[in-house]
Every structure is written in C-alpha cells, then in structure tokens.
Amino acid sequence: MITLYDYELSANCYKQRLLMSLLDIAYESIPVDFFPGLEHKSEAFKKINPMGHIPVIDDDGFVLWDAHAILVYLAAKYDPSNRWYPTSNPELLGETASWLLFAEGTTNTASAARLFVNLGYDFDIDACRAGAHRLFRQLDEHLWFREREGRDWVCSAPHPTIADVALFPDVILSEEGGVSRLDYPALRRWTERVKALDGFATMPGIFPLGTS
C-alpha cells in the first residue's frame, strides 16, 4: 500500500493524487497540517523527510520525496501501458524529461505566486508572476502547434504523459497567484482536455468540467 503525506491545498501533493487517480492506484492519504501547523517542519516529520517538505510517499517502506520524482517512480512502476512515463521509448522519454524540467519552472513561478497570495510566503511576487507569464506564453505557443499537428498533449505522443500531470496543477491554479490565463487560449483548451481524462480528480480551487 502506498502512503502519501499530503496537504489538500498543495499543488505538488495534488500532482500525486491526480496521477494515482488517473492510474487507478489505491493509496492512503496521511494529512499533514502544512498550514497553519507547519507540521512538515516538525522534528517528527523530519524523521520521514529530513528536507522537511511534502509530498512524500512511502511505498511499502520505500520512501521518496520531490513531486516530480514521485511522478516518475509511480508511473514507471504502476503504469502497465508504459505510456505515462515511457521508459521503452527513448525519444518520448527524453521529451517527458524535458517538460518535467519546464514544470520545475512553472512550480517555482506560478505556484510560488500562489503560495505568496494564499499563505503569505515571502517571495519576490513580481518576479514570480513575470516568470510565470514568460513560461505560459511559451507553453501556449507549444500547445497551439501541437493542436496543428493533431496532438492534444505536451509531448508528441497521442496520449498524455506525466509531463501533463506535472504542469497541470501549476497552470490551473495560477489565477490564485494573480497570473491570468486570458492571453493563453491554447493553454486554456489543454486544461479542459486534462479535465476530460478518465479518472481525473479535482481539488479545491479547480472547477471540474461541467456536464450540463
């Protein structure tokens, strides 16, 4: 059984919940009082993750932290289709790695801006927002061309990968950080395609795809 050390309003924890929901992996969520309790900085928690951050998973004794690393591990181990983290397709694997790196950027800008606004983190908010806009502009153009190629996802495959899962929370929650997506129509369309995936899970702050 996988245990996820979790905080419901964290974009990085949501990445794990989203992937496990998409892959239909059973897991147990252990809530961490991230805010206002700062439980992840406690002595007790540092015995689980000495770095003092979440998410962390414990898969039958194997403990791993860092959001994108956990995505890699979960997809490599639990996706029998080998699509989400395509270890047997070097080109696609390389693309996925490249976009995961890009997602580090969106985490450090768009999601950082959200922490600033919501929870009062001490970041350079103007730099976070400007950085998020720069990356969103690139991603919007990239996804526009993907649509022209008849592709729906960040990587060139006809199916989504963990790169989509890593980027989606940073993008969809950006407005909480004061980063509007009005100028990025292709990015907005892509978020709706992610929401339409089988097994999609939402979180507070993300409107589900409406049906009626």
Partner 1 sequence: MVDAQTSWHPIAAADDLPLRHVFHGQLLGRELAVWRADDNFVNVWENRCLHRGVRLSIGTNNGMELTCRYHGWRYSNRSAGCTYIPAHPADAPARTISNRTFPAVERYGLVWSGETPEGDVPTVGVLEEGSPFTLRSLPVNASAEVTFDELRFHTFQPCGAHDHTNATPIISIDQLDDRSIVLTSTSDDLRSTVVFFVQPVDAGRSVIRPVLSHTPDQHEQIVIWRHHALMLASTVARAERVFADQPDPPPMVAAIDEVPVDLRTLPDPSTNRQAPLRVQVSRKWSTATGVAAFELTSIGAPLPAFQPGAHIDVHLSKGLIRQYSLTNGPGETAHYRIGVKLEPDSRGGSELMHQSVREGDVLAISEPRNNFPLRRDSLKTILIAGGIGVTPLLAMAQALHSMDLEFELHYFAQSEDHLAFGEVRDLVAASVTTHLALSPSQTAAAIEEIVRSPQPTHQLYVCGPGPMLESTRTIAARAGWADESIHFEYFKNTTRRDDSSTFEIALARSATTLQVPSGTSILQVLRANDVALPSSCEQGACGTCVVSVIDGDIDHQDVHLNETERAAGDQIMTCVSRATSPRLVLDL
Partner 2 sequence: MNAVPDGRCTNAAILNQWHPLVAVDEVLVDEHREATLLGEKLTYTARPDGQILVWRSADSEAVELPIEVDYLCVWVCLGSPPDGLFEISEFRESDRRNVHAGTIGVHVSAPRAVENFLDMGHFPYVHTNILGVEPHTEVAEYEVHIDPQTNDVWATECVFYQPIAATTSTEGQMSDYLYRVPHPYCVILYKTTPMHDERMDVIALFCRPVSADHIQAHMFLSLLDPDNSEAAIRRFQQTIFGQDKPILENQHPKLLPLDPRAETPIRADKVAIAYRRWLSDMGVTYGVIPVGAT
- Determine the interface stretch with partner 1 among 6-14, 25-33, 59-67, 141-149 (rule: CB under 8 A): 141-149
Rounded Cα distance, 75 and 113, in Å: 28
> Which of residues 32 and 139 has its CB atom nearest to partner 2 in the complex?
32
Give me the helices (H) in the chain, please.
11-22, 43-46, 67-78, 90-106, 112-119, 125-148, 162-172, 185-195
- Determine the interface stretch with partner 1 among 10-18, 78-86, 165-173, 203-211 (rule: CB under 8 A): 203-211
Nearest to 186 by CA among 151, 156, 159: 151
Is residue 203 near partner 2 by the rule CB under 8 A? yes
Rounded Cα distance, 30 and 151, in Å: 37
Is residue 204 near partner 2 by the rule CB under 8 A? yes
In this structure, are residues 157 and 83 in contact, taking their beta carbons and an 8 Å threshold? yes
Which DSSP category does 115 fall into?
Answer: H
State in angstroms the smallest separation of the CB of 147 from partner 1. Answer: 8
- The single residue among 101, 119, 196, 209 that binds partner 2, judged by CB under 8 A, is 119
Site for partner 1 in 21-50 (CB under 8 A): none
In this structure, are residues 62 and 37 in contact, taking their beta carbons and an 8 Å threshold? no
- Determine the interface stretch with partner 1 among 28-36, 83-91, 166-174, 177-185 (rule: CB under 8 A): 177-185
Rounded Cα distance, 60 and 92, in Å: 30
Which parts of this chain interact with partner 2 (CB under 8 A)? 8-9, 31, 33, 35-37, 39, 117-120, 175-176, 178, 203-208
Q: Give residues in contact with partner 1 (CB under 8 A).
A: 137, 141, 144-145, 148-149, 181-185, 188-189, 192, 207, 209-212
